[in-house]
Chains A and B, each alone.
Chain A
Amino acid sequence: MEKLISLKIDGKEVKAREGITVLEAAKEMGIEIPTLCYHEKLKPYGACRICSVEVERGGRTQVVASCGYPVEEGIKVKTRSAKIDKIRRTIIELIAPSLSDGGVVGKVRELADEYGADTSRFMSRFKATPTRCILCGQCVRYCSEVVGANAIGFVGRGIERRVVFFPERASRFCPTCHECYDVCPTGKIAAETDGGIFPKFSIDDFLSGKM
């Protein structure tokens, strides 16, 4: 029989199976923690930090990403607090400018409204071209972990980081797959490929970072 772990989430006693994460435990009891980079078919990644929660363990409280934090005996989890709300609000505000070309819509819009984020707070300071990509990596990881095609990946580092298709592999796998269209939380991939047959490779676009 699986071992059960007792913990508290938002004041409620919970018994959770050993090995699952706080995010999963919360979900099972109907507490929704927002996520942007989490996908149930993929390994926890911990990039968006929207799922941050406060965990009290041995008298010490720390902020952790619930998607990767395993349930532990006796911990107390707070999925909402002034601190957590500020983190989520600020993250939405920071990410909003990258979405500005298509408007802040969909999930990010819903979260912005829920947490009172001012999506234009950093808009004027955002000098890069809005890409509509929040670098959640779901397409990259899905393509690698689920599809096994590895046709899409990250290049660059820091603020230069972006997602690209690798032409050699993309031309082989992408035309019949398109699974990343649905995975992408901002709809960037589907929009850019116009719903049509992928790939429409242009080496110029590729090198200039448009792809």
Chain B
Amino acid sequence: MPRINSPTELEKLREEIKLKREPGKPCITISSGTCGHARGSEEVIAAFEKEIKSQGLEEEIDIKITGCLGFCQREPIVLIHPEEICYLEVKPEDAAEIVQSVKEKKIIERLLYTDPKTGEKIKHDSDIPFYKSQQRNILGSNKWIDSRSIEDYLYIGGYSALSKALSQMTPDQVLEEIKKANLRGRGGGGFPTGRKWEETKNAPGEPKYVIVNCDEGDPGAYMDRSLMEGNPHSVIEGLIIGAYAIGSHEGFVYVRQEYPLAVENLNIALKQAEEYGFLGENILNSGFDFRIKVHRGAGAFVSGESSALMTAIEGKVGEPRMKYVHMSQRGYKEKPSCLNNVETWATVPFIINKGSDWFNSIGTEGSKGTKIFSLVGKVNNTGLVEVPMGMTLRQIIYDIGGGIPKGRKFKGVQTGGPSGGIIPEQYLDTPIDFDELTQIGSMMGSGGMIVMDEDTCMVDMARYFINFCCEESCGKCIPCREGLRMLLEILTDVCEGKGKEEELQTLEDIAEVMKDASLCALGTTAANPVLTTLRYFRDEYEAHIKDKRCPAKVCKNLITYYIDPEKCQACMICLRNCPTGAIQGGKNLVHWIEQDKCIKCGICYQVCPERFNAVEKLSGEPVPAPVPGREVTRKKE
């Protein structure tokens, strides 16, 4: 491909691409991000390719492989264009039938989404409740582009924002537009992006650097991964525009090595962008030069912190350093450096193309635009959702997420990853907004949203997050390292029923010192899960300590498995599956658990057939004595 040398040449190429395409031609789009891979999308793709080849339909039907389409729970998703028919959880063996249906312009009912409320079959993805309430500005492009095809990106208008910025705007005008848009950083802190750019631009010192943070490490969060895998060019385009505004000629993408597909697609995209002349010297004849290097992260959560990330790019151990002088003044190699998250950079081209007024028309007073969340945990529709700021947690969890599975009761939602807090039911109508979430003790963070139901123990959950931070803290400063160590010890004791009441105060004491005195944001926020659970679920802590009871029946030391002799049908299933031989009884004899041998693995609880439901978990109550040798009372049909 020859290099594009001007905005006019870019538009000419775009026209050529459009002319080549036949809008009415059938196209089978298969989503194959990491979530798709996990659910077998590669086999599905192979099956489609084989089918189309064997029928000799290569000329008639196109196949497009895209990144994540968001509805990860139901991957692999297949979209049939131009009708936009959406098939969910497609298996390799469905390929032949789908190809046949495309030929005959028919619809396969069984692969469509069924509305759980009405039982109605839904044809188009945009009508599925999961997608319906979303506003997929940033993520939406994923479904139109093969993540490895720059032509696909150009076809949907890619690099037009860059062309506009370089040919019609001065760097100051670009900066002004971003400032006016009130875009706030999507990586966690919500710092105004325009201000960060301006600080870097005005900071003394050359060269200046721009950096993409793709070190997404929050448990359960994968927004950045899906963007980088599915639409890497949008991130690259945003970064070039930012570099132009700031006056930087060298950029970095820090991407986790644990995201192999993101690394691969990013490298392909960078190579293409260079070939097409969007990177390199004199980009689109503007006189502006810019290059991007990829730095693969070596697997440390703390490296996502800005100073640690830049230290890591310098080739040192990724540990945070003191930032009393901002990174925008003295960052990578002590030079002014502007670090933004993947989603923030990907938002930039939209603002340039559509204008700051458009961006300001979405969202709340203090938080503009849309935000991508990864909705996971105890929720029916897990996946990536993009919604306008200001939508309530309830709308996200119930309207989009489809509520809690198996009719269980909602208990809390963790936002902001290990640095965030757990938000209880009374705040479900809180609008999603940087400031609102901070006010109730949590944070937006990068957008992880873990839903918890009544079977989740909040003390255990706090312990889980503290344990995560214990392993992921760099260990440099005392409040974070030793504070976490003690929090973990105390929480483990509470979970094991060995906690003392006065230690709840100790937890708060340590948390306070960590918050005030830790070196970086990992330490200052690490205690948030403890503080919010103490604030909203103190009764659970007290139940563990005073009554030696785990209300959610999760903490092993505080629960006992028990087989209800009235319900047991002596089916032998639990007895055969018990790994320690703790279950006694036999054919026609009621089963019972020899508690001394029980290791509380919970297998009996899981395998007991639902129609009997004889195995129970007891906590904080006496366990009835077993009656060995008792004959079974048969359940009447």
Contacts and interface: CB of A to CB of B under 8 A. Distances in A.
Interface in B434-486: 469-479, 481-486
Interface stretch (A7-15, A25-33, A151-159, A186-194): A151-159
A127 B493 CA distance: 13
A159 B519 contact: no
Interface string B321-365: 110110000000000000000000000000000000000000000
A2 B402 CA distance: 65
Interface residues of A, number: 36
A63 B516 CA distance: 6
Contacts of A47: 476-478, 519
Contact of A161 (B469, B481, B509): B481
A127 B300 CA distance: 25
Interface in A56-74: 63-65, 68-70
Classify the interface of chain B: helix, strand, loop or mixed.
helix
Contact of A157 (B474, B482, B519): B474
A91 B479 contact: yes
Given A46-B322, A161-B474, A94 B516 contact: no
Interface string A44-62: 1011111010000000000
Nearest to A134: B478
B510 to A, nearest CB: 7
Interface string A100-135: 000000000000000000000010011110000011
A91 B321 contact: no
Contact of A52 (B317, B470, B484, B517): B517
A83 interface: yes
B510 A90 contact: yes
Given A83-B516, A91-B517, A158 B474 contact: yes
Contacts of B478: 47-50, 91, 94-95, 134-135
A95 B482 contact: yes
A95 B513 CA distance: 13
Contact of A68 (B322, B471, B475, B510): B322
Interface size range on B against A: 20 to 34
Contacts of B479: 49, 87, 90-91, 94
Interface in B77-134: none
B519 A90 contact: no
A198 B64 CA distance: 65
Contacts of B472: 157-158
A49 B474 contact: no
Nearest to B482: A94
A122 B517 contact: no
A22 B300 CA distance: 32
Contacts of B481: 135, 158-159, 161
Interface string A74-108: 00000000010011001100110010000000000
A137 B317 CA distance: 14
Contact of A87 (B325, B469, B476, B513): B513
Contacts of A127: 489
A158 B475 contact: yes
The CB with the most chain B CB atoms within 10 A, among A87, A128, A157, A158, is that of A158
The CB with the most chain A CB atoms within 10 A, among B317, B482, B489, is that of B482
Interface in B549-592: none
B490 interface: yes
A205 interface: no
A160 interface: yes
A94 B322 contact: no
Contacts of A159: 470, 473, 475, 481, 484-485
Nearest to B519: A46
B533 interface: no
B518 interface: yes
B322 A65 contact: yes
A160 B321 CA distance: 19
A65 B516 CA distance: 10
B477 A157 contact: no
B470 A70 contact: no
A156 B489 contact: no
B513 A90 contact: yes
Contacts of B317: 154
A63 B519 contact: no
B474 to A, nearest CB: 6
A135 to B, nearest CB: 7
Contact of B483 (A46, A50, A94, A98): A94
25 contacts: A44-B322, A48-B478, A49-B479, A63-B516, A64-B324, A65-B517, A70-B324, A86-B509, A87-B517, A90-B479, A90-B509, A91-B478, A94-B479, A94-B482, A125-B490, A127-B489, A134-B478, A156-B475, A157-B300, A158-B475, A158-B481, A159-B473, A160-B475, A161-B476, A161-B481
For the complex of A and B, list the 6 residue pairs with the smallest distance between their C-beta atoms, beginning with the closest: A161-B475, A68-B322, A94-B482, A158-B473, A46-B322, A90-B513
Given A46-B519, A47-B477, A69-B322, 7 more contacts: A83-B516, A90-B479, A94-B486, A125-B490, A135-B478, A157-B302, A158-B474
